[in-house]
Amino acid sequence: MISLNRLFKLTIQIKEVILFEDQNNNLKFKSIYIKRNKRLKVNDLREGQMIFNEVL
């Protein structure tokens, strides 16, 4: 099981961005929640691809 730590959280009026790191302090994922349309996007920073992009 992967243990992730929340590294950074930025909240502005239209979106919230959270960066997650692993136990070795390597950036792993970036999540972006767009408040206007309630969309959540999750990017795998190591693979360079979006792994989730849905309206909640």
- Listed in order, strand segments (DSSP E) in 1-56 are 5-11, 15-21, 27-34, 39-44, 49-55
Number of domains in the chain: 1
Q: What is the DSSP letter of 26?
A: -
pLDDT digit string, tens, across residues 4-19: 666 667 677 788 888 8
Report CA-CA distances (Å) from 47 to 11, 30, 44.
25, 12, 6
- Of 9, 13, 2, 14, nearest in space to 30 by CA: 9
pLDDT digit string, tens, across residues 11-53: 777 888 888 988 888 889 999 999 889 999 999 999 999 999 9
pTM: 0.76
Residue span of the structural domain in which 36 resides: 5-55
Token pair, residue 48, equals 């360079």
